[in-house]
Amino acid sequence: MRRKLFVLGLDSAPPRIIYDEYGVELKALKEVVGGSARYLMRSCHPPITIPAWISMFTGKTPGELGVYGFRHRKPGDVRESYIVNSSYVKFRAIWDEAGRAGLRVGVVGVPPTYPPRPVHGFLISDFTTPGPDKAYTFPPWLKREVESKFGPYIFDILYRSHEKGKVLKELMEMTKQHLEVVKHLIKSKDWDLMIYVEVGLDRLHHAFWRYFDKEHPRYEEHSEYSRVIPEYYKLIDDWLSEVRELMPRDTAIVVVSDHGTKAMKGAFVINQWLEEKGYLKLKEKPKRQG
């Protein structure tokens, strides 16, 4: 009987948390990492969620893929843009190759997999999905199964907000649903390779890193928000401990991230610099916002 491979993608998880338990306590993740080979992977350029995940799973660079971000500018007009989706990816991913070899695959939340393409197994698309009213699974009837058990699927949240209490509530609701859905799929479906990417971790870091990392230039101790990141990692860690019991003992587990997280201490606006140095001339001055 062939071994299963389970890939857990933790979007934006930094090595110092996963390897050094910086500010958190880990059990299941610590056991997996402690008994495994450890690597510091170099992300792609640009090192962002899209295109990093699809670069990882196709083995192609963003340049080869023609995918450099979530939102692309339309040629000839920098004011117009479009959202990148799976139709822009022209190369086969690892789950396509596995399927062609006869392996059953499961794919959940890997960007960008909306709209869903046929796979030799099952697929639930990622945070680029416009909403649960769209077709977001393969096979199509998997959507009905998921929603009958867990309600309308939550793809993403509004995390760039000053309403931190609302962000926290929606983040936990989304992540807990994802974890329950994946646990259900692990138990109920036939698979040889399963890949699950949780984007909630990225949203967590964006919203609450300044309350967690004491090296952040705007670090702020908060009675509630400073506990959010350790508690979220515990949620993931407890879930991993549970689902490991559902998989055969010889299942190979890979924990991977697309890029890390750290405090941003500044930004370099290259277009402004080019203009100041005389290398860039504008046909018209941009209108200032506000």
Question: What was the pLDDT predicted at 288?
Answer: 67
- CB within 8 A of 185, min separation 6: which ones? 106, 108, 122, 191, 194
pLDDT tens by residue, 218-255: 999 999 999 999 999 999 999 999 999 999 999 999 99
Confidence label for 75 from pLDDT (cuts 50, 70 and 90): confident
Is residue 283 over pLDDT 90? no
- What share of the chain has pLDDT > 90, as a percent? 87
Alpha-carbon distance of 204 to 63, in angstroms, equals 29
Q: Structural domain boundaries of the chain? A: 5-276
Q: What is the pTM of this model?
A: 0.92
**Per-residue model confidence as pLDDT tens digits over 123-167:** 999 999 999 999 999 999 999 999 999 999 999 999 999 999 999
Q: 182: which DSSP letter?
A: H
CA angle at 10 for the pair 93 and 258, rounded to the nearest 5°: 55
Pick among 3.40.720.10, 1.10.10.10, 3.20.20.140, 1.10.238.10: CATH of 5-276: 3.40.720.10
Query: Do residues 82 and 74 make contact, with C-beta atoms less than 8 angstroms apart?
Result: yes
